[in-house]
Structure formats: C-alpha cells, structure tokens
C-alpha cells in the first residue's frame, strides 16, 4: 500500500478530529467509525481483501488481480480440500492425575493367566488406556519376555465382540436382576446345605478365589466345585499321584542341563514355564569365547514344534510310541524292566545312545515329558531323572500350585452325572466354555440344560452362554483385581489399568455374592484376603510393594523331594496294534490354544510356528501318508474315530510322523465373534475323555472337495546356491569358525557408486542370533501391538497381503520325512545401500542420519516399487483400508506414538523408531548419550531367548556391536551388497558324535 497515501489519510482523520472542537463531540467510537474517512482508514489498515479493489482504485487492475487471486485460491483450495478434517473436541485435564505426564506411558505390573497359571507382565498405559503388554523382568516365569497370548490379551480387552451386558435368555437385564435371582435360589439351597449348587471353573491357582470357594463350601457343605480345562496338564497330575502318591508340581532348570531329552514336550514354546525355559536353554546355546559346552537336545515328537526345530537330534514318533521310547531309555539305564528290543528300528537305534549320553551327564541332564503324554511317560521321566540325580539340580518338585488339583475329567464326569440325575439347581459356570470343549461323549450342550438355574460368567457370548439362561459379562484381567500363581507358585496380584469397559464383574465378585456381600469390590476382596493372610504390622506397605512389583515376595513354593512310589512304573508297556488304522493326535493350537483366543484377530492371523498357517487348523499328516492316501495340502479327508466323523482339509507337514494325523483344537467355533465364528473345523467332535490327546484307531478316507488355506509361506526348501541360513556343527565351528559361512560370499564394501553416509551420532543396528531363536513368534505379535499393524483377514492373507512387519521364515533341509528345520525372523534389514530408497519416485522412503530407512507414510503415493526392489520382501502394502478407523473400542487400542496407516500406503519395520526417539529425547534432556540397552525394540523386548539385540553400532562396546563382531555374524543376501544393518548369527547344532542315527 502506498505509504504516503496512508499517512495522508491518517493525517486527514486527525485533522478532522482536531477540527471538531467545541461541542462537536463524537460520542463514541461507533460514531467516529461511521465517518467515511475512518472507514477508509480501517479499510486500508485491515484490508478485507488481500488486494484492494475498492471503487477508487483502477477498476481494470483490481478486477484482474482479483481474478488471478481467485484462480490461485481456488487451485490451492482444490489441493487442500482433498481430506475433510472431522470435528474433534479435545479436553485438558482439569486436575492432572498424579505421575501422569501426557504423552508418556506408565507401566503397571500385573499378570495374565493361561490354564490358571500366571505370567507376570507389565502393562503399558497411555493416558489410562492399556495399549501394550511387556514381560515383567522381576517375574520368575517371564523374566521380561512375553508370549503371544499375553501380547494379544490387550486386543481381547478392546474386542468389540465381548459380552457387554447381563442378559437373561438373550434379553438385557441389570446385575441386580441376576443377584436377585441368585439370592432367591440360594435361599432355597440353605435348607439343602447347598446340595443343588455346582460351581464349574477352569483351573484355579488364585489364592483369593480358592479361599472364597472354601468359604462357600463351608456355608453350603453339599455344594460341589468342578474344574475343567480342556488343555490342562491332566496327565502330569495323574502321573504325580502314580509316582509320588500325591499331587506334585514339577518344574525345570535348563541352565544346568548339558543333555535334554524331550518326550514330546514343546517346553521352549508352550506351557507354564516356557518363557523361562527358553531363556535358560538359549543361555546354554550361546557360543562364547570361553568355550562353555553347548547343551544337546534330543526331541522325540509326532508333529514338529519349535522345540523340535531346535533339536540336535529329532526323531518323529507317533505320540503313542513315545511311551515305548521312554521305556527303551529306561531299560537301557536299567531303571525299568522291559524288552530291550523294540519293533521300531528307530527306537532301537536311539535309545542306547540317548541313555549313554544321559549317563555321561548325571546330575546335569534332564528328561521332560510332554503334557500330552500319558501318565506312564511322566512317571518314567520322573524315575529316570531321579536315577540320574537330576532332582534338585535340573528338576524341582513343589506342592501343587493349583488350589485344588483334582482329576478334571473325573470332575466333569461327576458333574455330568449330577446333571443327569437332576440334582443340580444352580450351575455357575465361571469362565471357560465346556459346551464347546468338554469331551464329546459328555454331551454338555444338552446336559447343562438340565440344571434349573444356569449362569455363565464369560468375556464372550459363546457356545456355553447359549445354553445358560444368564450371561454375565466377565471383566478382563486389565479391568479388575485378582491374583494367580506362576509355574513355581509365585503369586502376582493383578491390578486393573482401566475401569471395566462394559460393566463386567470378576469371578471373585460373583462368588462373594454367594457368601452374602454382593457389593464388595474386587479390590476389597483381593486386598481383604491378603490382609488376612499377612502376618505383621506393615500390611499397607507390603501390599503396595506387592502390587507395584508384580511379584509377592517369597510366595514361590519351597522345593521338596518325595520318594518315588514302588509301583510308579509297575504297569507294563502296552503295544497297540495298528490294524490298518491311523493314530489321532489332539493338540492345543499353537496360536488360539484351546479355542479361547479364537476371536483374537492377531492370534488368528499369526502364522503358526512351522506350518505358517493362519486362520485355520488342518488334519496334519506326513508327506509319506499324503502320498499313500493320494492327497495333497488342501484335499479333503473324512476322519472316523470311534464312530464319529469329521471332515477336514489336509495339510502335509514335512517332519510329521507317518500314520498319524495331528488335529489342533480350538477351531470350528460356532459362537465366537466376528473373527472366530465358523473358522476351521472342530476336532473336539472326536475327542473323548478316554483319549484326550492321542489314540490309535482312526480311519481316514479321501473325499472329494478342496480347501483353500491361507499360509504365509509356500516354499520352505533351502537350495544349495542360496546361503540364507548359515549353519554348522559346533565341533566344526570350534575347529574353523568360518566354516559356517562356507560358500557364501560378501562383496567388498567399496563396490558402490554412492559415497558412504557419515554417521556422526548413533548408528542403529540389530543382530539376530539364529542359534537362540526358537521361532515362537512372540516378536510378531509384539510388533503388531507396538506398531498398530492391521489385521487383514483370511482372504487377504491368502492373497499374500499379511501385514506383519517381522515374520518368521521356516526352512527345511534334508528329507521330507525328517528334515532339519530352521527358523529365521526377518524384520526390515535397514540396508546401508538400500534398494528401496533409490527407486521411490517421491522420496517417501529415505535414509536417516542414524542409518534407518525411514518410511514417510504421508508422502507415500503407493507405487510399490520399493517393495519390488526389496530383496528381503519386508515391505507391506495397504491394498485396502485395512486399519479400523471406525470401531470405537479399537481406537483405544492404538499406540499413540505410531501413525495408523491408511489405504494405498507402504509400511515396514522402523526398528521401533518411536522408542528410539523417546529414549533420545530423554537422553538429550539429561545431556548424555543413550545408554546401551536403553532402547529395546518391541520384538527384542518380548523375545524369550534374547535372540534379537538392538543397539548403537557406532559404540564398539554395545551388545549389538559385540554380537556383530562374532565369527558367526553374517548378512542375509550379502552378495547383493545392500549392506544390511540387521545381521544374523549362524545357527549351530551339537549332534552326538557317537550317535548312530
């Protein structure tokens, strides 16, 4: 604007004001403002339009400028109006909660339970929302690691399909209606001593819950408590009675075991203490300079498991033949009487060598019987361990951790009998899903309906809820107080992080109603119980400490030794005849377990270890049987066992034993929710109380039809030209460490056109020790939870569009009937010379100053060229809008530090850049460098075997630098000269040199 003109106008206004002397007042500013001069001034001072086009200006000039401006504005408006921003209201804290800094997560110790047994965890809370589960380093069973079920439990909390209201025959009621009905029923039971009351729970280790049930039984002496856990340690319980004459809890210490024999036990990846065992086992796999002896693992099992994949010697045996193997070892050790020769040549070849190896390592060996093996195998394992002097060194016995270790099959059969006789007036089913997972011949669907009043406390409206009148929404463990024991008896007080989302109640609250105080809060109940238990004055301090630590001090049960019963292994080997039939093997599913997790999208979509199947179970058979039956993966079979039939698709699994079919339980749910209903087929339909885990005598027929599986890996064969897995034997490695890299080549560093990036500050890198990795896949779920990775569903997985940023590749080497199995976790390699960076046309993936391949989601237009050019294929593309922006409860789940990706955008592993930046900000505030180990990527934090190490490779003393300096270190596809920041450490096996097999 013309300066002089402006001044002139100002001057004229002042002049006018001055000249208006005398009585010509201007009464107020409005009056003054009404003068044209003032308005003109205002117009010029605060122009309404960017360019003046008032009448007094040159008309043409103004119009043209206006049109130009209009055009530009419209064009810009067109550009910016592509996304409509929704109206959102944000609210400040009026009173800030103590300890809470917005944007910084808080961690609370609590515990997840599986089969009643606790895994101590830390739950991450963002402004009151639990978003992620980490292991509790102070808890004996997790040691900071975490399994897939705990990781996925946070999704379960926000599952929109959870039971959300108390319902009576499908109609919504209030809690008071239920309590009224219950009290009415109880009033009637008073006179009968509660003879009509039945409480059916899953396995209970919770001291509080057990105390409540005892109190109920005191009040109603004739009331009965039943327990049923479809995948519980039924055989171990029976074996303890058989061996020691009383219930005994067994756990192991693998740190001192030089030789481990697994009798169909997947101790590295499933079971109560598996995280701890995996940690201890991997410690003995590390090859340090000192040359500590590496342990040796023998595994006999029907279906390959992560434990079998790690074995130095693996023998595929039918589940029923493992008893024979155990006998053979016992006979060779002269602790059992039996035939020295077996019909099975493999067992003959193996048992002697295994027995010798065990004898050479007396007191430093371990025989582990699988939870699915019959009691006699457990008894033999107890006897052998006792004979070898392992008790107190590698094997420990304590009193049972369960509150009431009963024979659960008998317990359920007892309940069924009572239901038939009409003796049950009130049936409280606290958790579980017996209609779905009880032995088939019990017909629980019909029997349960014989109870007069049936109430089901459950997180989901499931098959059992459908036959109960009352469905009571159960709280998630992150919503309520509770307690549970770990594998060694250690108690954890579970504390809630969030108010119950749907007004649910816990089992404790329901039981408290029976003893007369329906309004007691779970906090009062749990704290009240421990207050009564506590001896000493400072209860409040003790309580706070117990809740804070996630471990109640000195509650681990003391180890004891029991003498072995004389008749422990008096029962003789029973060889069953095949008669042209096959063995049926039931196992809990590796990801959805007994079916309880079937509505968890994360677990459904997690590729199952070894098979890499998602969203399905299958009739898993060996390549030999597939050939014999003339079927391939995807063909249909009709399975007939004891007159019951089941149609199931075939999955051909290399390494599976011949003449047996493995069926994973938990699928075929009819009322699970939107993720779990109608997925897979239901092997519970064949499972009877007499053969919970395996039996001979299944007939198998090929039928017409085919089935489309969604497996994330089609090719598993390691070909000789590609050095993907570097591997070797420990003996050769000791002689010549370079032998593990034989045949692989790595080009010189100088072979690149581009100048090296300088990294003056940090240079992040990762090392993955294949020798430690068991392929348990916990890292995959941890990554999914941390990085808001979407679930895409079976159809999309089948189309090759699973979104996991880290995957576990499984390779087979050798004969299909018994291959060596190798697992390899593959996150982004963060290459120095990254092929992806070069080809992105819009610079959406670029090299960071610390060596990361940053992915700029906002900039990505989705050419997918980067993925084509990525030799590791770690990039994932949002073909559709996979992220759920709509479901309200799932919004709470997201990690606020990570962008939720939209349609059409590429995504990939970032080494958890949000964690890196958070640690760097902390360090900068304190004017220091980020310390080694301060940043843990999500996969690293959860890894039970510490196979994944992340850190600053500029620091030669960091753990990752030391690992990369090891001889075993190699880069995947090094010959491409991408120079990955993620490198691998070769895997080693420790075969028995005297082994004939």
Partner 1 sequence: MADEPNVHQPKTDIAPGYTFGTVTDQIASVVLTRRTPFFWYAAFGAGLVLLLLFLLAVGVLFVKGTGIWGLRTPVMWGFAITNFVWWIGIGHAGTLISAILLLLNQRWRNSINRFAEAMTLFAVACAGMFPVLHLGRPWLAYWLFPYPNTMGVQPNFRSPLVWDVFAVSTYATVSLMFWFVGLMPDLATLRDRTHNRLARFAYGILAMGWRGSARHWSVYETATLLLAGLATPLVLSVHTVVSFDFTIAIVPGWHTTFLPPYFVAGAIYSGFAMVLALAIPLRSIYGLQGLITDRHLDNSAKVMLATGLIVAYAYILETFSAWYGGNTYEQAMVWHRMTGPYAVSYWSLMLCNILAPQALWFKRVRSKPVFLFISAIVVLVGMWLERYVIIVSSLAQDFLPSSWSIFQATRWDWATYIGTIGLFLFLFFLFIRLLPMISIFEVRTLLPSAKVEEEAES
Q: Which residues bind partner 1 (CB under 8 A)?
A: 82, 713-719, 721-722, 724, 796, 799-802, 807, 809-811, 824, 826, 835, 838-843, 859-865, 867-869, 871-873, 876-881, 903-906, 972-973, 976
The residue (of 10 and 856) whose beta carbon lies closer to partner 1 is 856
| Cβ 865 to partner 1 shortest distance, Å | 6
Helix (H) or strand (E) holding 118: strand 117-126
CA gap 119, 492 in Å, rounded: 9
| Cβ 798 to partner 1 shortest distance, Å | 9
The residue (of 253 and 869) whose beta carbon lies closer to partner 1 is 869
| Cβ 816 to partner 1 shortest distance, Å | 15
| Cβ 792 to partner 1 shortest distance, Å | 9
The residue (of 385 and 611) whose beta carbon lies closer to partner 1 is 611
Report in angstroms the alpha-carbon separations of 814 from 349, 350, 510, 732, 820: 20, 19, 56, 19, 6
| Cβ 799 to partner 1 shortest distance, Å | 5
Give the residue among 794, 766, 770, 791 at the shortest CA–CA distance from 780.
791
CA gap 193, 216 in Å, rounded: 11
The residue (of 33 and 74) whose beta carbon lies closer to partner 1 is 74
Give the residue among 470, 556, 704 at the shortest CA–CA distance from 140.
556
Strand order in the sheet with 166-168: 171-173, 166-168, 470-473, 453-458, 426-430, 197-201, 224-227
Answer positive or negative: Cα dihedral of 592, 595, 596, 600.
positive
3-class secondary structure, 741: helix
The residue (of 823 and 961) whose beta carbon lies closer to partner 1 is 823
590, 769 Cβ separation under 8 angstroms: no
Q: What is the gyration radius of the CA atoms in the chain, in angstroms?
A: 33
| Cβ 50 to partner 1 shortest distance, Å | 17
| HEC letters along 814-873 | CCCCCCEEEEEEECCCCCCCCHHHHHCCCCCEEECCCCCEEECHHHCCCCCHHHHHCCCC
Q: Any residues with CB less than 8 A from the CB of 245 and at least 6 apart, and which?
A: 562, 565
Report in angstroms the alpha-carbon separations of 884 from 132, 148, 290: 18, 22, 52
| Cβ 829 to partner 1 shortest distance, Å | 11
Please state the separation of Cα 759 from the chain's center in Å.
Answer: 36
| Cβ 855 to partner 1 shortest distance, Å | 13
728, 741 Cβ separation under 8 angstroms: no
The residue (of 250 and 824) whose beta carbon lies closer to partner 1 is 824
| Cβ 709 to partner 1 shortest distance, Å | 13
The residue (of 499 and 868) whose beta carbon lies closer to partner 1 is 868
CA gap 267, 370 in Å, rounded: 8
The residue (of 724 and 919) whose beta carbon lies closer to partner 1 is 724
3-state helix, strand and coil shares in percent for the chain, rounded to the nearest 5: 30, 20, 50
DSSP conformation class of 572: P
The residue (of 640 and 867) whose beta carbon lies closer to partner 1 is 867
790 phi, psi to nearest 5 deg: -75, 155
The residue (of 79 and 90) whose beta carbon lies closer to partner 1 is 79
Count the alpha carbons within 13 Å of 997 in the hemisphere toward its beta carbon: 21
The residue (of 529 and 822) whose beta carbon lies closer to partner 1 is 822
The residue (of 445 and 864) whose beta carbon lies closer to partner 1 is 864
3-class secondary structure, 43: helix
The residue (of 77 and 714) whose beta carbon lies closer to partner 1 is 714
Please state the separation of Cα 516 from the chain's center in Å.
Answer: 38
| Cβ 652 to partner 1 shortest distance, Å | 17
Strand 635-641 relative to strand 426-430: parallel, antiparallel, unpaired? unpaired
| Cβ 161 to partner 1 shortest distance, Å | 24
| Cβ 978 to partner 1 shortest distance, Å | 8
3-class secondary structure, 357: helix
The residue (of 714 and 750) whose beta carbon lies closer to partner 1 is 714
Structure tokens, 773: 């990795």
| Cβ 519 to partner 1 shortest distance, Å | 52
CA gap 196, 476 in Å, rounded: 29
| Cβ 770 to partner 1 shortest distance, Å | 14
The residue (of 640 and 869) whose beta carbon lies closer to partner 1 is 869
| 9 CB neighbour count, 10 Å cutoff | 18
Q: DSSP E strands: which ranges in 921-990?
A: 948-952, 969-970, 982-985, 987-989
DSSP conformation class of 335: S
Structure tokens, 823: 């697992």
DSSP string, 544-571: HHHHHHSS-TT-SPPEE--PPPTTTT-S
Beta bridge partners of 970: 984
3-class secondary structure, 798: helix
The residue (of 477 and 984) whose beta carbon lies closer to partner 1 is 984
| Cβ 73 to partner 1 shortest distance, Å | 15
| Cβ 345 to partner 1 shortest distance, Å | 33
The residue (of 801 and 920) whose beta carbon lies closer to partner 1 is 801
The residue (of 190 and 859) whose beta carbon lies closer to partner 1 is 859
Structure-token match 């990801």, residue found: 591
| Cβ 821 to partner 1 shortest distance, Å | 13
302, 316 Cβ separation under 8 angstroms: yes
| Cβ 749 to partner 1 shortest distance, Å | 17
DSSP string, 57-84: S-HHHHHHHHHHHHHHHHHHHHHHTTSP
């Amino acid at each position: 604007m013309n300066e002089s003109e402006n001044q002139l106008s100002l001057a004229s206004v002042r002049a006018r004001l001055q000249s208006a002397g005398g009585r010509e007042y201007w009464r107020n500013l409005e009056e003054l403002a009404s003068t044209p001069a003032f308005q003109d001034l205002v117009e010029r001072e605060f122009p309404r339009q960017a360019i003046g086009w008032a009448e007094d200006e040159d008309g043409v000039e103004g119009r043209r400028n206006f049109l130009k401006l209009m055009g530009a504005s419209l064009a810009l408006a067109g550009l910016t109006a592509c996304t409509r921003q929704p109206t959102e209201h944000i609210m400040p804290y009026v009173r800030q909660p103590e300890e809470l800094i917005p944007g910084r997560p808080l961690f609370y110790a609590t515990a997840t339970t599986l089969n009643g047994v606790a895994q101590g965890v830390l739950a991450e809370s963002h402004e009151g929302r639990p978003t992620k589960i980490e292991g509790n380093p102070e808890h004996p069973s997790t040691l900071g690691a975490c399994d897939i079920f705990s990781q996925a439990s946070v999704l379960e909390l926000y599952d929109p399909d959870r039971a959300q209201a108390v319902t009576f025959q499908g109609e919504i009621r209030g809690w008071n209606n239920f309590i009224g009905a219950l009290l009415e029923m109880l009033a009637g039971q008073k006179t009968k001593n509660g003879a009509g009351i039945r409480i059916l729970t899953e396995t209970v280790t919770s001291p509080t819950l057990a105390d409540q049930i005892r109190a109920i039984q005191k009040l109603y002496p004739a009331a009965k408590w039943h327990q049923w856990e479809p995948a519980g340690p039924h055989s171990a319980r029976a074996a303890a009675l058989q061996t020691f004459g009383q219930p005994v809890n067994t756990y192991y210490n693998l740190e001192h075991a030089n030789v481990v024999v697994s009798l169909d036990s997947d101790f590295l990846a499933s079971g109560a203490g598996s995280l701890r065992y995996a940690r201890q086992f991997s410690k003995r796999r590390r090859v340090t300079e000192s040359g500590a002896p590496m342990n040796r693992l023998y595994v006999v099992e029907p279906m390959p498991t992560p434990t079998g994949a790690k074995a130095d010697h693996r023998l595929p045996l039918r589940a029923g033949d493992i008893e024979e193997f155990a006998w053979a070892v016992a006979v060779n050790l002269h602790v059992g009487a039996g035939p020295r020769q077996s019909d099975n040549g493999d067992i003959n070849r193996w048992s002697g060598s295994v027995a010798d190896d065990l004898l050479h390592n007396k007191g430093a060996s371990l025989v582990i019987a699988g939870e699915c093996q019959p009691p006699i195998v457990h008894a033999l394992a107890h006897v052998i361990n006792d004979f070898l002097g392992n008790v107190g060194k590698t094997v420990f016995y304590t009193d049972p951790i369960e509150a009431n270790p009963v024979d659960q099959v008998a317990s359920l059969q007892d309940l069924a009998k009572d239901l038939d006789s009409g003796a049950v007036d009130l049936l409280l089913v606290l958790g579980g899903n017996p209609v779905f997972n009880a032995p088939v011949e019990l017909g629980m669907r019909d029997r349960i309906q014989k109870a007069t009043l049936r109430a089901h406390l459950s997180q989901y409206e499931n098959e059992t809820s459908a036959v109960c009148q009352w469905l009571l929404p159960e709280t998630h463990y992150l919503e309520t107080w509770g307690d549970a024991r770990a594998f060694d008896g250690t108690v954890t007080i579970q504390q809630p992080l969030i108010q119950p989302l749907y007004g649910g109640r816990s089992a404790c609250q329901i039981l408290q109603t029976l003893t007369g105080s329906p309004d007691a809060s779970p906090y009062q109940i749990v704290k009240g119980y421990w207050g009564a238990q506590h001896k000493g004055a400072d209860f409040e301090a003790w309580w706070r400490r117990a809740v804070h630590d996630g471990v109640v001090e000195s509650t681990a049960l003391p180890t004891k030794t029991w003498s072995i019963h004389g008749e422990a292994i008096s029962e003789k080997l029973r060889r069953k005849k095949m008669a042209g039939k096959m063995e049926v093997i039931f196992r809990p599913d590796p990801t959805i377990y007994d079916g309880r997790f079937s509505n968890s999208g994360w677990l459904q979509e997690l590729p199952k270890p070894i098979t890499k199947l998602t969203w399905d179970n299958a009739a898993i058979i060996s390549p030999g049987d597939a050939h014999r039956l003339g079927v391939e993966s995807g063909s249909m079979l009709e399975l007939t066992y004891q007159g019951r039939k089941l149609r199931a698709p075939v999955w051909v699994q290399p390494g599976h034993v011949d003449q047996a079919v493995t069926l994973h339980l938990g699928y075929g749910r009819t009322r699970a929710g939107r993720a779990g209903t109608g997925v897979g087929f239901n092997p519970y339909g064949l499972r009877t109380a007499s053969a919970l885990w395996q039996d001979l005598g299944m007939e198998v027929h090929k039928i017409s039809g085919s089935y489309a599986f969604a497996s994330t890996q089609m090719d598993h064969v390691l070909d000789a030209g590609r050095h993907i897995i570097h591997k070797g034997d420990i003996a050769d490695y000791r002689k010549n460490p370079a032998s593990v890299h034989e045949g692989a080549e790595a080009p010189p560093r100088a072979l690149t056109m581009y100048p090296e990036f300088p990294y003056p500050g940090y240079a992040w890198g990762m090392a993955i020790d294949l020798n430690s990795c068991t392929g348990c896949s916990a890292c995959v779920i941890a990554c999914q939870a941390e990085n808001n990775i979407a679930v895409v569903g079976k159809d999309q997985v089948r189309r090759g569009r699973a979104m996991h940023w880290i995957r576990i590749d499984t390779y087979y080497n050798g004969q299909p009937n018994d291959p060596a199995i190798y697992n390899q976790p593959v996150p982004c390699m963060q290459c120095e010379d990254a092929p992806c960076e070069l080809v992105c046309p819009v610079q959406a993936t670029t090299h960071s100053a610390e060596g990361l391949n940053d992915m700029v989601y906002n900039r990505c237009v989705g050419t997918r060229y980067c993925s084509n050019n990525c030799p590791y294929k770690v990039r994932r593309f949002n073909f559709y809008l996979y992220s759920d922006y709509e479901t309200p409860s799932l919004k709470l789940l997201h990690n606020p530090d990570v962008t939720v990706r939209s349609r059409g955008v590429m995504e990939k592993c970032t080494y958890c850049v949000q964690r890196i930046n958070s640690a760097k900000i902390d360090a900068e505030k304190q004017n220091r460098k980020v310390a080694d180990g301060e940043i843990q990527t999500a996969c690293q934090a959860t890894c039970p075997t510490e196979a994944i190490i992340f850190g600053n490779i500029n620091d030669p003393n960091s753990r990752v630098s030391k690992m990369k300096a090891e001889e075993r270190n190699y880069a995947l596809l090094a010959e491409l000269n991408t120079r990955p920041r993620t490198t691998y450490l070769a895997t080693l096996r420790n075969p028995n040199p005297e082994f004939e097999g």
